[in-house]
Amino acid sequence: MAGSERDWRYIGHLLACRSGSLCEGCGKPLVPGARELSIHHRQPRGMGGTDRSEAHFLSNLLLLCAGSTRRLAGVAGCHGAVEAYRENAERRGLLVRHGLDPAAEPVTLASGRRVLLADDGPFYLPPADGPLYGNLGLAR
Ligand SMILES: [Zn+2]
């Protein structure tokens, strides 16, 4: 079941719900189903023995723009930038080192907001070291 075309359509839909159909790297609006949209694995598959179903947890996936043209050598847009500037991408949580749990590693969104990515639904969670309601501006 995992990895089928239908699963990717569903996962893409969940990611679009989570991000409001915005690139989670630069905040650019993305058209669902368009070619310039790509699903990025924060912790790439095929390294460090990450098992297949785990690699598809929502916490390991980001919706990123990939530019309007796919080049032979790679992809453009934020997806290309993650690959080209891996150190910066790691600092922002767009890439996660092997041995770390993507669900516990915050991502800095284009707005500057730091979030954790939930596994069990298309939503962001506050980071462990942040205030629970900080993103809503509520006092505790
Ligand atoms: Zn982008």
Tell me the average pLDDT across 116-125: 93
Confidence of residue 76 (pLDDT cuts 50, 70, 90): confident
Cα 139 to averaged position of ligand 1 atoms, centre (Å)? 32
User: How far from the centroid of its chain's Cα atoms is residue 129's Cα?
Assistant: 20
Cα 68 to averaged position of ligand 1 atoms, centre (Å)? 11
Cα 126 to averaged position of ligand 1 atoms, centre (Å)? 22
Cα 6 to averaged position of ligand 1 atoms, centre (Å)? 24
**pTM for the predicted model, two decimal places:** 0.81
Provide DSSP, 37-101.
Answer: EEEEESS-TTSTT--HHHHTSGGGEEEEE--SS-BTTB--HHHHHHHH-HHHHHHHTSS--TTS-
Shortest CA distance to 60 belongs to which of 89, 32, 23, 96?
96
Instruction: Look up residue 99 and give its DSSP letter.
Output: T
Please determine, for residue 52, whether its predicted confidence score (pLDDT) is greater than 80. Answer: no
Between 132 and 21, where is the model more confident? Answer: 21
Please determine, for residue 122, whether its predicted confidence score (pLDDT) is greater than 80. Answer: yes
pLDDT of residue 1: 43
Can you point out the beta strands (E) in the chain? 37-41, 61-65, 107-108, 114-117, 124-125
Between 47 and 1, where is the model more confident? Answer: 47
Cα 48 to averaged position of ligand 1 atoms, centre (Å)? 27
pLDDT of residue 22: 94
Please determine, for residue 6, whether its predicted confidence score (pLDDT) is greater than 90. Answer: no
